[in-house]
Amino acid sequence: MLDLLPQWMRDGIGDDVAFWIGYFTNGKHLAWYASVQFTLFAGLFGACVALALGLLAAAARNGGPWPVRFVAAGYINIVRGVPDVLFFLFFPLAFEQAVEWLWATQVCTPESIAANPNPWPPCIEANWRLSTVEYLIMASVSLGIVYGAFTANVISGALLAVPRGQLEAARAFGMSRMQVLWRVHVRQMWIYALPGLSNVWMLLVKATALLSLLQILDFVTLAQRLGAANYSAIAGLVHEDWRWRYYLVLLIFYILVTFVSEKAFAALNRRVRRGMPILDGNAA
């Protein structure tokens, strides 16, 4: 990318600076900067899944027949007891095996099963190739499932905080239970839910650092590859172990994301509380 600069500029900045500009804009570094897209995608898509599951689970836990409430409570409590790393590794593998097993029941003949010495999949036709895209989507979904449980807790609490009078008035007007839920209850709930949701978002964004565990060349992996000590001139610049510098950049990146998210949530909070007389310890 150094060659995008005009020659007079390159002469002006001197060889050393030019070298470093060239180094930090070489293809490997550009791929590193671009891999932020994986983190952002996983964060945003995971957040959508978490919100959807959280709403569903909270609604199921508060209203609905008892089997549904049981399942929702089970989901929320069990996921709180399991580390997100473990679920992150477990879900893509489990999902892949489940899909392959279903597929194998359709596609595998006894001969092909006998011909396959591998423990899994049962026969080679029932094999689902996973690449970066599939892993990324499954990673986002597994993040969504884990943080959906936390979101459900937050939303449950927020649903309970909505003044009862509003719901009773809505029922008195003849709205059905579903109408009361979606038009009045959930709409009013956001004000109480936002602080908790901003916490869950922070946790989720930090969890996207784990994408490298699923063989995705994400922001963290490429930082490790770039910082790694290299003594092979043919592979690139020969340098000692520079990892801590690259990790520092990663840390600063995540702190920046946290900072921007905080500002965004504060703005969202202010907007949502327009005209509301509620006080929450801080001035309205």
Partner 1 sequence: MKKLILAAATLLAFTGVAEAQVRLGSEGAYPPYNYIDESGNLGGFDIDVGNEICERAGLECEWVVNDWDTIIPNLLAGNYDAIIAGMSITEERQQTIDFSQDYFPSDPSTYVALSGHSIDFDTLSGLRIGAQGATIQAAYLEQNLAADNTILTYTTPDQAIADLQAGNIDLILADKSYLAETVAGSGGALTLAGPDVEIGGGVGIGMRKTDAELRGHFDTALTAMKEDGTLDELIALYFPEREGGPFYTAE
Partner 2 sequence: MSFIAVILNEIQLLARPALLNIYFAAAAIPVGFVLAIFLALGKASHNRLITALSRGYIYFFRGSPFFIQLFAFYSFVLTLNMSVWRPLGIDWLILHPLFLGPAILTLNTTAYTAEILYGALATVPRGEVEAARAFGMTQAQRFRSIVWPHVIRIAWPAYTNEVVFLFHATALIYFTLPVIGGQQDLMNKAGELFERDYNVFLHYSVAALYFLAISLVIFYAFGLVYRHLMRHMPQAAPAKFSMRRFMT
Please say whether the beta carbons of 30 and 1 come within 8 A: yes
- Residue 115 makes contact with partner 1 by CB under 8 A: yes
Sign (positive or negative) of CA dihedral 170, 171, 175, 178? positive
- Residue 270 makes contact with partner 1 by CB under 8 A: no
- At 200, the amino acid letter reads V
- Residue 13 makes contact with partner 1 by CB under 8 A: no
**CB-wise, 247 or 265, nearer to partner 1?**
247
Please say whether the beta carbons of 182 and 231 come within 8 A: no
CB-facing half-sphere around the CA of 121: CA atoms within 13 A: 24
Pick what 282 binds: partner 1, partner 2, none; C-beta below 5 to 8 Å, kind-dependent: none
Q: Say how far apart CA 249 and CA 244 lie, in whole Å.
A: 9
19: left (phi over 0), alpha (psi -120 to 50) or beta: alpha
- Residue 218 makes contact with partner 1 by CB under 8 A: no
Please say whether the beta carbons of 184 and 167 come within 8 A: yes
State which of positions 53-92 bind partner 1 (CB under 8 A). none
Q: Say how far apart CA 161 and CA 190 lie, in whole Å.
A: 10
- 53 Cβ contact list (under 8 Å, min separation 6): 144, 145, 148, 149, 151, 152
Secondary structure class of 127 (helix, strand, coil): coil
Q: Say how far apart CA 199 and CA 49 lie, in whole Å.
A: 16
Pick what 215 binds: partner 1, partner 2, none; C-beta below 5 to 8 Å, kind-dependent: partner 1
Q: Give the residue from 29, 37, 40 showing the smallest Cα distance to 222.
A: 29
Q: Say how far apart CA 196 and CA 112 lie, in whole Å.
A: 52
Pick what 83 binds: partner 2, partner 1, none; C-beta below 5 to 8 Å, kind-dependent: partner 2
Pick what 229 binds: partner 2, partner 1, none; C-beta below 5 to 8 Å, kind-dependent: partner 1
**CB-wise, 41 or 87, nearer to partner 2?**
87
Q: CB of 206: closest distance to partner 2 in angstroms?
A: 4
Q: CB of 250: closest distance to partner 2 in angstroms?
A: 5
Which residues of this protein are in contact with partner 2, per CB under 8 A? 61, 66, 69-70, 73, 78, 80-87, 89-90, 93-94, 97, 119-120, 202, 206-207, 209-210, 213, 220, 224, 227, 241, 243-244, 247-248, 250-251, 254-255, 258-259
Q: CB of 18: closest distance to partner 2 in angstroms?
A: 27
Cβ-count burial of 216 within 10 angstroms (0-12 exposed, 13-18 middle, 19+ buried)?
buried
**CB-wise, 13 or 260, nearer to partner 2?**
260
Pick what 127 binds: partner 2, partner 1, none; C-beta below 5 to 8 Å, kind-dependent: partner 1
**CB-wise, 7 or 118, nearer to partner 1?**
118
Pick what 14 binds: partner 2, partner 1, none; C-beta below 5 to 8 Å, kind-dependent: none
**Chain residues in the site for partner 1 (CB under 8 A):** 26-28, 30-32, 96, 99, 102-103, 105-107, 115-121, 124-125, 127-131, 215, 217, 222, 224-225, 228-238, 240-241, 243
